[in-house]
Each structure stands twice: as structure tokens, then as C-alpha cells.
Amino acid sequence: MARWFQRQMFRPTFTVVAFFAVIAIFFYGSIGWTFLMSLTKSSLMPRYDFVGFEKYADLMDNKRWIVSCINMVVFGALFIVGSLILGSILAIFIDRGIRFEGVFRTIFLYPLAISLIVTGLGWRWLLDPTLGIQAMVRDMGWENFAFDWITEPDRAIYTLVIASVWRSAGLVMIIVLAGLRSVDGDLWKAIRMEKIPQWRAYVQVIFPGMRPVFASCIVLLMSEVIRGYDLIVAMTNGGPGISTEMPAKFAVDFFFSRMNLSLASAASILMLLLSLLMLAPYLYSEFRRRD
Amino acid sequence: MSSPANAAAMPRVAVVGMYAFLIVSALFFLAPFLVILINSVKPMADIRSGNLLTLPSEITFEPWRIAWSSACTGLDCSGIKPGLWNSILITVPAVVISVLTGALNGYALAQWRSRFADWLMLFILIGLFVPYQAMLYPTVKILSGMGIFRSYTGIIFVHVVYGLPYTTLLFRNFYVGVPDEISRAARMEGASFLRTFWSVILPISTNIIVVVAILQFTGIWNDYLLGLIFAGNDNLPMTVQLTNIVNNSRGAAEPNVNMAAALLAAIPTLIVYFVSGRYFVRGIATGAVKG
Amino acid sequence: MYNISLNKIRKTYGDLTILHSVEMEITEGEFVVILGSSGCGKSTLLNIVAGLDTCDSGQILIGDKDVTDLEPSDRDLSMVFQSYALFPSMTVRRNLSFGMEVARVPKAEREAKVAKVAQLLQIDALLDRKPSQLSGGQRQRVAIGRALVRSTGVCLFDEPLSNLDAKLRTETRVELKKLHNDLGFTMLYVTHDQVEAMTMADRVAVMNKGRVEQFAPPQEIYEKPANLFVASFVGSPEINQIAGHLSGNGSLDIGKTHIDLSGYAFENGTRPAQDAILAVRCEDIKIVPPAAGHITAQLDFVELLGADALAWVLYHGKRLSVRMGVDQARALESEVGLQFDLTKASVFCTKDGHRL
Ligand SMILES: Nc1ncnc2c1ncn2[C@@H]1O[C@H](COP(=O)(O)OP(=O)(O)OP(=O)(O)O)[C@@H](O)[C@H]1O
Ligand SMILES: [Mg+2]
């Protein structure tokens, strides 16, 4: 026994076990407990009066939850597509050895260093109809110019898309750029020999070969969408009305200000399931590749 | 480094179009920052009479002074200054502890030979993508049980634990590339696991340490949600104080002060970004390709 | 007291058996080379001896002490790795003294030992450099130095020369051998390079798929291989093999040809009738006029190697090699007779390859 203990001094086992325990308790234990809560009627404090999946049914009747989900899908789709397109175009241009590459790169990337709170505030001010772009254009003489999306319930969600594309396009750019730089030089030579137009080369040859790169971009952006909380709080706070509410905010609000523990837990568990669902193909291919 | 793509000459129109696109994009990326910067040194009168995009008639640092030391959050009018100290006091230890624990766990995981190793990886990878909402409330309960909920220790603890899968994975991926023979050689010399980690492995990890430290620094500094919930009123980080200031003065609307406050909150991470340049980029690129 | 005995060492990974009951007795001060192709389990065996890896069953004795369950550092041995595995962040001096530092050896003693080894290996001038500032050969010396500093009598080497260029490899080989003679350590040395095995070893253990096929002095391995695997693995070009049927009267029948094996010393003197393979090295074949030798073959082509030449001939569709002088090779006819030196040939059982 003493010898076994002594051997372990030379092994990573203790560290791995301690690490595993922390993750198991704080991540998986917490998830398990949240799931239990979602099966109860707990409101302010945890109670263990199990009611099955009633709270999930309640969620489906909750207008704010439904709106949140729809918003997340709309926002997520536009944000991911927008970031991928803008990021890829910027990556292609930067990869072509433009002048002032460093300057452009710095400009496209700095938003990543800025918090979502400041990002949200900045765009909130810029898009404020009485202060920002609309006011400026009107001051220049176009009295009827309107760009008041942030105060329009139908449009406000798009302002969130603008702000998050602004923040994340650089991320896509840097990942795609790394992918482009690792493309085999001979491939480009072949493309030139075959006289394939450059844009077709990107669309039909280069990018299809970078599928894993885009996959990790998408996984990353998706997890941002599902977790998205700070930006909404800073920019629209869910408004006007509930037009920019999203699940992450729904859960936090119901946990901490509306004190509906069970409903918030059910919402969180659904968010988790959604994350795992999105992640599954990625994880699957990751582990397939390793074997 | 230049890719063979640029070896092919582009038609003149295409070149002009490319630079036009890049410049417009650069303006898009710079706009919020410039607007905040300009208006933070603009007298209130200018803002009332014009819009956010007009240049200031005179440059004043009064908004900065107010934002720094006398802007109000509720009844308390001591500016964002306390938030800065709180953020520093939270971020610095949290980053140091994150880096050390991440490195130790990452090394242990890279060394750990077991048929469960792949399962543990999956376990961690999933942990990486769990929405915080599914863990928040139980974490509150655990920390309350430990007596550190809403305390300085508590917020640091939460940052370290929530960041654990990420930091561990980054270090693990680095250590998998370090030749195993080095660890074996240390073991031959009689060095225990911890001794090997400390004397042999840590000193050759400078690059990855810098990368992880930068990522964790930006992440923790820019955090809003965890600070709001776990820090307690005496330790609120800058992001939370900033939103309090902005939302408090919403009626009175002193945009210039708010913007100065936002800049103050953004400056530390921007400094890190500009100083660390290449590391920051590398950090994002390695951090992005998780797993 | 640094003899090593390995007792029925077995190692498996899941269903895969990497080592099948390996047995070896190494006497004190011996230089033993473990030779085998890539993946045959050499490193695994060495790591088990070192204590870096565990075995599923079996026993390791060093100096008659059972060390099977001991940590590497408690086994009184040291090791030189293929990639040198110097600690990158430490100076050469610290690399050498780190092990003693861990063992809390007093500073003065550490310095004295480092100085002694540094002088022995002529690396005194490099002591304050980092490994990255050394050439491959210098790193190699430091790695050996690190092993010697703490060494009390057993040194393990895992392909220590494979990262050096050809010239340096030859030089280091000689030096290592000299070091062994001077220090008298027991050395266990893993390689897949035959030349290293032949030149350095007191005894060579030829490994194949987790088994020791033969454990004998190098010359014996070369001249009297215990089985067909050893015969064909050792030596270049590969040993010539002629398959036939061994008849009761002691001749090998290949179709209508009968090779009289009366000059060959069979093991135990017995020669049961069975399918067999005659194996002869290229230098043990003499060219004679057609029909005058054991067999007659067609000349295929000639390789001139500078000092001598290899003639490749075809016999029953198989290619055989014959070593000879350059002039003789130039004068070869298209049909040649081959005369085997049967005292140096080997005969193996076709079925399981063991020596007859
Ligand atoms: N952790 C492991 N899991 C499964 N198989 C392993 C493991 N480590 C080694 N092996 C297998 O064990 C066999 C022997 O490996 P070993 O490293 O001992 O070979 P080697 O003889 O040293 O080869 P080389 O000359 O290439 O170094 C190989 O087939 C290898 O694939
Ligand atoms: Mg090996």
C-alpha cells in the first residue's frame, strides 16, 4: 500500500482524479441538480416536489420563451452566415498579400479584445435614432431619413446581428486565414495551370478542402449564440418589449430576478440539450478522426 | 508566408474593388470605437446641439474625470474607479491560478495513459460547451455552502473553475506535442510528477502560458454575468459598474460621461491586445481549434 | 553486483501481446545489444527494465535484487534516450546535476561529480550552455554524461546514435565502446542497426515480434544463426536461401539436383528427412565452371561496390548473391557454377525455421 502510494508520486493519476472530481461536481453535478430542479415546482427556493416534465410543458406555453427561441434561431442564422461570409472575404483579401496587412488585421481583430458589454453600448449609441447615424444623416439635410431599427420591434434583432458580426468576423477571419495559409502551395500551382478563375478556385477547391476549419468556426459561433447574454443586456435589454429576448437571458432572469427556479432550470436544460445537439456532429467527427 | 494565390496578377478593377471593400470594412470596424472616443472628449453642449458623429468644438477631459471618480451608480457616486480596482484584484489572481491549474491538469492529462483517456477528453470537451445557465444556480448553492458566495474569493474561484476545461485543454494540446522522453528522463532522475512539472515542464511552456494568460485575461476582464452574480456588491467588476452607470443616468443622459466610462473599461484589454499582438492572434487561433 | 536477469517478462496492450515471456541473463560488466526491426518491442523491453513501463507478469532482478515494483530512480540505473531528452530550460550543468539535486545530494559533491564526468566526456566547455545551443553530437555527449553522473553500474541506451550523421555515429560508437571498457558498467543497448550490434556488443539479443530469437556473441549470431529469422535479419545482403527436401542420406534435393551436405555439421548429428532450407552467405560461395559446383545458375547482373563486387545469379527463379573480387566479376560468363562452403552454411527446417 505504501509502495503503491509512493509510485503514484510519479504518476499523473492524483492530479487527473482531482481535476475529474472538480469537473464532475461543478459541471456535471450542477447540470444534474439543475435537471432535478426542472422536474419540480420550486420557485424561490429549491423544493423537491417532483411534477415530472410539467415545467417543460409550461415553457412551451410561455410566450416569452417561444419568442426567445425564435429570436435565437433568426439571430443565430444571420449572425453565423454573416460572420462566415465577412470573415472569409477578409481572410481571402488579407491572404493575397495586400498593403498595410498589419494595419487591416489589427483593425479587424481588435473587437475581440473588447467586452460584449462595451460592444453593446457602443452600438446602442451609434444606432440610437436621436444621437447616432439617423441623426447625423438628418443633420446633413435628408430630413426623412430613417434608420431606427433598434427601436423597432420587428427590426431590433438585426441590430444585434450587426453588433455581433462586428465582434466575431475577426475571429472567423483569423481562423480561415490560418487555414488558407496551410493550403498546399502546389494546389495553387495546379489551379493556375488549369486556368481556373480565382473565385471558383476558392469556392470549389480551396474552401471545400477546409471543411474542418469552417466546422470549428461554426461550432464556436453557435456556442456564442446559445450563451449570448451580455450583448443583449447592454444593447437592447431584450426590448423593445420582448422583441430581442433570448433563452440565455430568459434563464438568468427567471433564476435571479423572477425567482422561478424550476422554469429557469427547465429552460437551461433545453439550452444544454440544444448545445449538445449542435455539438454532436463535431464531437463525432473529432473522435472518428482520432481512431 | 505569402500564399501562391497572390502570384496570379489580378485585373486592375478587381484590385480597386478589393481595397475599396477593405477600407469600407475598416470603417465599419472602427466606427463604434471612434464614435465613443470622439464623444468622450466632447462637451455636453455639442452633443445636445448635434449628433454623435459631429466633431467636438473643443476637447475636454471633464467627462473622463467624472466617469473616473464621480459618476453615479444608484446612490453611490464614486465613478468607475472602484470597478477598475475590483477588476484588477479579481482578474490577476484568477489568471495566475487558471494558468497554473490549467498547466498542471493539461500536463497530467497529456501524461495519463488509460483506456478512459478518450472518455475523459469527451467529458471535458462537452464541459467546454455547457451553457453557464445550466450550472449557475447550483454553483450559487455550492458557494453558499462553502461560505464564499458573493465574496472576493468566490468570484475568483468561479472564474478558475469555469475556465478549467478550456485552460486544461489548451495546455494539454501543447503538452501532447512535447516529447514524452523528456518526462521519462526526469523520472529516471528520480523527479516526482509534481517536481517534473515544476522544474522541467513549466519552464519550457512560456509560449502557451502567455497565450492562455492573454485569453483568460480578456475573458475574465470582460466577464459580466459571473461578476454580477458571484462577486457581491463590494467587488463588482468594471463591466457591471459600467452598466450601472450607464443605466443609472439613462434619464439624465450624459452620453459623453458614459462613453468615457466605456472606454475606461475597454482600455486594459485593448492594451493587452496591442502589446501582445502576435500572441493574441495565436491565442485565438489555437484557442479556437479546440479539441 | 550489477548483473541483470529478466524472468519471463510479458507485456500486452489489450489483445496485443508486445512481449512474449522474454528471458535474459546479463552478467555484470557485459555490453548487451538488443537488435530488432522497428516495432518488435525493443523499447518496451528497455522501458520495463528501466521501470518507466510496467510488465503484466515476470520479474526483473538487478544485482539479485527484485526491482520489478520499484521506481526507476530506486533501481540504480540510468538511461540515454534516442532524442536525448535533455531538459530544454536547464543549462548543461543543471541537466547533469538535476538528478542529484532531486536526491538532495550536497552541492559540493554534485559539483565534483559533474566536473569529473564533464572532463571524461570533454564537455567542460559547454557546461553553461542551454541544450538548444549545442550541436547534435554535443547533445549526445551531454545525454550520456547525465546518465553517467548518477550511474552506479547499469546504463540503458535506447537507439542513442540514430539521430547522428554517419560519421559522428561511427566516432561515437567507438567512444562508447571505450567508455564501456574503462568504466566496466553493465550496458543494455537497443538498436536496429546491425553494425552497431556487431561492433559493440559482447552479446546480441535478436528480437522479433516480442520474442528473443537468439542471445549470443555477435560472431555466433552471424555464423551460426539459431533460426531462419536471425539468419535473414542479420547480414547484408540478405543471406541466400535455397529451398529443397532433405533426404535421409544427407543430401538436399531440389528437383533433379542433389546437394551433398556431408560437409555440414548438423545439430545433434541427426538429419531427419523433411523440407529444409539451405542458407549461405554471399561470401561463402565460390564461382566455379558450370556443372563443377553444387549447383549451376544463370548470371543476372553485377554490382560493383568499389572494394569488391556482388554478382546476382538466378537459380530456379530465385536470385542469389555472390561476393567476389572486382576483376573476377568483370570476367563472368552467363552461366556459372556455385560451390558452397558448407562449414559456414546453415540448414533450417522449412516448417518452423529452426536450425537443423
Ligand atoms: N501505448 C501503446 N498501446 C498500444 N500499443 C503500443 C503502445 N506502445 C507501443 N505499442 C506497440 O508495441 C510495439 C513495440 O513498440 P516498441 O516501441 O517497443 O518498438 P521498438 O522495437 O522500440 O521500435 P522502434 O525501433 O521503432 O523504436 C509496437 O508495435 C507498438 O505499436
Ligand atoms: Mg524504440
- Residue B97 pLDDT grade (very low, low, confident, very high; cuts 50, 70, 90): very high
Residue C207 CB less than 6 A away from ligand 1: no
Q: Does B86 lie in the same domain as B61?
A: no
C192 lines ligand 1 (CB under 6 A): yes
Contact between residue C31 and residue C20 where contact means Cβ atoms under 8 Å apart: no
CATH number of the domain that C339 lies in? 2.40.50.140
Residues, CB within 5 angstroms of ligand 2 (ion): C 43
Verify that C317 and C197 share a domain, yes or no: no
Structural domains of chain B, count: 2
Count how many residues are written for chain A: 291
Q: How far B117 CA sits from the closest chain A CA (Å)?
A: 10
* Gap between the terminal Cα atoms of chain B: 26
Q: Is residue B130 part of a domain?
A: yes
User: Does residue C44 have its Cβ closer than 6 Å to ligand 1?
Assistant: yes
Residue C131: pLDDT above 60? yes
pLDDT at residue A77, rounded to an integer: 96
Q: Which of C184, C206, C232 is the last residue of a domain?
A: C232
Would you say residue C355 lies in a domain? no
Instruction: Note whether residue C278 is domain-resident.
Output: yes
Q: Do C195 and C55 reside in the same domain of the chain?
A: yes
Q: Are residues B53 and B166 in the same domain?
A: no
On chain B, the residues whose CB falls within 8 A of the CB of C79 are: 184-185, 188
Give the separation between CA A269 and CA A273, rounded to whole angstroms: 6
Q: 0.90 cut: is pTM over it?
A: no
- Could you tell me which of C86, C80, C55 has the C-alpha nearest to residue C70? C55
Residue C55 structural domain: 4-232
Q: Is residue B167 part of a domain?
A: yes
B199 vs A: CB within 8 A? no
Contact C191, C33 (CB under 8 A): yes
Claim to verify: residue B48 and residue B139 sit in the same structural domain: no
Asked if the Cβ–Cβ distance from A234 to B243 is below 8 Å, we say yes
Tell me: do B31 and B150 sit in the same domain: no
Asked whether residue C354 is domain-assigned, the answer is no
CA atoms within 13 A on the CB side of C256: 1
- What does the alpha-carbon distance between residue C212 and residue C278 come to, in Å, rounded to a whole number? 23
* Domain end call among C204, C232, C260: C232
Per-residue pLDDT tens over the stretch B126-149: 888 899 999 999 999 999 999 999
The distance of B68 to chain C (nearest Cα, Å) reads: 44
Q: Domain count of chain C? A: 2
Cell of B72: 453615479
CATH number at residue B125: 1.10.3720.10
Q: Are residues B129 and B266 in the same domain?
A: yes
Q: Is the CB of C165 inside 8 Å of chain A's CB atoms?
A: no
Q: Which CATH architecture has domain A53-290?
A: Orthogonal Bundle (1.10)
pLDDT tens column, B194-223: 999 999 999 999 989 998 999 899 999 999
pLDDT in tens, C282-325: 999 999 988 888 889 999 999 999 889 999 999 988 899 999 99
pLDDT of B291 = 32
- Report the C-alpha gap between C326 and C303 in whole angstroms: 9
A11 interaction partners in chain C (CB closer than 8 Å): none
Residue C32: its H or E element: strand C31-36
Which part of chain A is CATH 1.10.3720.10? 53-290
Domain at C225, CATH number? 3.40.50.300
Question: Residue C19: enclosing H or E segment and its boundaries?
Answer: strand C16-26
Same domain, C116 and C135: yes
Task: Count other C-beta atoms under 10 Å from residue A3's C-beta.
Answer: 10
User: Taking residues B85-98, what's their average pLDDT?
Assistant: 95
Residues B53 and B110 grouped into a single domain: no
ipTM given for this complex: 0.89
Which residue, of C198, C232, C266, is where some domain finishes?
A: C232
Q: Is the CB of C38 under 6 A from ligand 1?
A: yes
Say whether residue C112 is in contact with chain B using an 8 A CB cutoff. Answer: no
Q: List the residue whose alpha carbon is closest to atom 22 of ligand 1.
A: C43
Structural domain includes residue B40: yes
CA distance linking residue B95 with residue B166, whole number of Å: 13
Counting one residue from chain B and one from chain C, the pairs whose CB atoms sit within 8 A come to: 63
B50 is in which domain, residue-wise? 7-69
B63 with B85, same domain: the answer is no
Statement to judge: residues C90 and C190 lie in one domain? yes
Do B98 and B139 belong together in one domain?
Answer: yes
Contacts with C160 from chain B: Cβ below 8 Å:
none
Taking CA B281 as the corner, what is the angle to CA B275 and CA B284, rounded to the nearest 5 degrees? Answer: 125
pLDDT in tens, C31-90: 999 999 998 999 999 999 999 888 999 999 998 889 998 888 888 888 999 888 999 999
Mind telling me how many Å the CA of C71 is from chain A's nearest CA? Answer: 7
Residues B42 and B114 both lie in one domain? no
Concatenated DSSP letters of A66-128: HHHHHHHHHHHHHHHHHHHHHHHHHHHHHHTT-TTHHHHHHHHHGGGGS-HHHHHHHHHHHH-
Residue B2 lies in a domain: no
Same domain, B255 and B162: yes
What are the chain A neighbours of C71 within 8 Å (beta carbons)?
Answer: 6-7, 10
Residue-wise burial string across A114-153, b where 16 or more C-beta atoms lie within 10 A, e elsewhere: bbbbbbbbbbbbbbbbebbbbbbbbeeeeeeeebbbbbee
Looking at the fold, whether B177 and B65 belong to one and the same domain comes out as no
Domain contains B74? no
CA A147 – CA A170 distance, rounded (Å) = 25
Cβ(C22) – ligand 1 distance below 6 Å: no
| Residue B52 near residue A136 (C-beta atoms within 8 A) | yes
Determine which residue's CA is closest to atom 31 belonging to ligand 1.
Answer: C39
Residues B274 and B188 in one domain: yes
Residues C92 and C186 in one domain: yes
How confident is the model over B226-245, as pLDDT tens digits?
A: 999 999 888 899 999 888 88
CA separation for the pair B139, B226 (Å, rounded) = 11
